[in-house]
Amino acid sequence: MSLHIYDTSTRAIREFVPVEAGRASIYLCGATVQAPPHIGHIRSGVNFDVLRRWLARSGYDVTFCRNVTDIDDKIIRVSAEESVPWFVVAERNQRAFTWAYDTLGCLPPTVEPRATGHVPEMITLMERLISRGHAYASGGDVYFDVRSYADHYGKLSNQKLENMRAAADTDDETCKRDPRDFALWKGEKPGEPTWPTPWGPGRPGWHLECSAMATKYLGPTFDIHGGGIDLIFPHHENEIAQSQAAGDGFARYWMHNGMLKIGAEKMSKSLGNSLLIPEMVQKVRPVELRYYLAAPHYRSSIDYSEEALLEAAAAYQRIEGFVTRAAEVIHDVDADAPLPQAFADALDDDLGTPQALAVVHEVVREGNVALSKGDKEAVARLLAETQNMLDVLGLDPRSPQWRGAGSDLTPVVDALVAVALGQRKSARERKDYAAADAIRDQLAAAGITVEDTPHGARWELSR
């Protein structure tokens, strides 16, 4: 079976056939950096990180472009509220997003373009649209003429033009030929940043930015465009319109992840229920938060509760426990071991992570049985399968990401704990159990949990 994905534009499951054999190109609408990220924002990053990893594991050379919208009405509004330059707001929050992506194990994008670095490409795109009769300049603004593209506009969101409301993206709608026309470029306003264009100084419209950046780095026609389901209209609808009206094929597949909600309400700052990433990783470890976000199907909505979060953490710990115990018996894991067919089939079926994780848990159950029987051959095979599956999902507890490579204090702690465990072992051998328990309590007070196993004492940081 090959990869099949649900394409929003056709509202059907389609086989993935890339523009260029052996290569896959993905554009993901990234952060609009007016505020730090909550888990609803980062869910998209985790979902598309799994897609990217699976494409790479399937043999594709993946180019992954995730943009940053660093100029926007919301950023300008926060800038005014805080009395700081707009770029201070953008830079501060972009760093918060980068930290969050890294903390949850998302691989760095191949390229991460900023909108403000691509104004020349935006000007070229507007010139192409004006020359084709699909855009017009008015009062320092530039607008896309939706009626010039009426036969196609609305297909992604399954809407008819006559039923659409006004774009409401400018203060003065009288500049437009039609209220539904959307802004490609916004003319200069006092106190706002500007860039020069043939139609006067101003700043880019939101939709124009992504079309310019996507085609610059992935070409006029590329494979997959992703983002949250809330972006289908107007953002992605407008991207398609302006790109295809200019003569580009643009994205061949459209993938959208579901929303994360609290009490059936969409996550948003305005509702006051945002769960910021630094706060969340105080509740559970980052890898457990990633498991929580990756476990549901990417197109489903998640209704957040702390109970569900802790259940996900416990489920991950069961997987981690097997990997840890098995690694004490098997020291060399076959990184090239084949994945279970059921796991591959699950991910090939529209990135079915719930079914894929069900396979992981089944293999873990078999592995625990093999451990209890002392069947090292079976343990070796099942450990390799488990770690290889977890690697695809970005959840391998033995990967450098989750072991803290580069700043790993494990060897130091190992040496210190070894001394204490040596003293504890001596106390137990002379039947001084009070002293042995005291050493164990001292380690617990230092945040280190000791577990006695058939292979000796094992430690981990207390949860």
pLDDT of 408 over the 60 cut: no
The pLDDT tens digits for 82-113 are 999 999 999 999 999 999 999 999 999 999 99
Q: Cα torsion for 112, 69, 350, 11, to the nearest 10°?
A: -140
Alpha carbon 117 to its chain centroid, in Å, reads: 23
Per-residue pLDDT at 394: 98
Inform me whether the pLDDT recorded for 407 exceeds 50.
no
Element (H, E) at 253: strand 250-257
Q: What is the pLDDT of residues 277-319, one digit of tens each?
A: 999 999 999 999 999 999 999 999 999 999 999 999 999 999 9
In the predicted model, is pLDDT for residue 266 greater than 90? no
DSSP reduced 3-state for 264? coil
CB atoms within 10 A of CB 264: 7
pLDDT at 442: 78
- Taking CA atoms, 204 is separated from 29, 211, 220, 350, in Å, by 16, 12, 20, 35
| pLDDT over 60 at 237, yes or no | yes
Q: How confident is the model at residue 209 (pLDDT cuts 50, 70, 90)?
A: very high
Q: Could you tell me which residue, 283 or 269, shows the higher pLDDT?
A: 283
Task: Cis check for the bond before 234: say yes or no (omega within 30 of 0).
Answer: yes
Q: Which residue has the higher pLDDT, 436 or 103?
A: 103
Phi, psi of 262 (to 5 degrees): -125, 120
| Sign of the alpha-carbon torsion through 12, 14, 20, 26 | positive
Domain ranges in the chain are 4-257, 282-401, 410-461
Helical segments of 112-205, H only: 119-131
Q: What is the average per-residue pLDDT within 4-16?
A: 98
Residue 378 Cα to chain centre, angstroms: 34
- State the pLDDT confidence band at 263, using cuts at 50, 70 and 90: confident
Residues 167, 186: contact at Cβ < 8 Å?
Answer: no
Of residues 100, 110, 91, the one with CA closest to residue 44: 100
CATH of 4-257, one of 3.40.30.10, 3.40.1190.20, 3.40.50.720, 3.40.50.620: 3.40.50.620
The beta-strand segments (E) located in 159-201 are: 182-187
Q: What is the mean pLDDT of residues 119-128?
A: 98
State how beta strands 202-204 and 182-187 pair.
Answer: antiparallel
Using the structure block, give the residue that is written with the tokens 């052996």: 22
Placement of tokens 């996900």 in the chain: 312
- The identity of residue 366, as a single letter, is E
Q: Which CATH number fits domain 282-401: 2.50.20.10, 1.10.10.10, 1.20.120.640, 3.40.50.300?
A: 1.20.120.640
Is the predicted pLDDT of residue 274 greater than 80, yes or no? no
Helix axes 376-393, 306-329, angle to 10 degrees: 140
- The CA distance from 261 to 276, in Å, is 14
Query: Per-residue pLDDT averaged across 146-169, rounded?
Result: 93
- For residue 451 the two structure tokens come to 């577990």
Share of the chain above pLDDT 70, in %: 92
Chain segment 419-431, per-residue pLDDT in tens:
767 777 787 778 8
Distance CA 228, CA 219 (A): 22
pLDDT at res. 21: 98
pLDDT, the chain, mean? 92
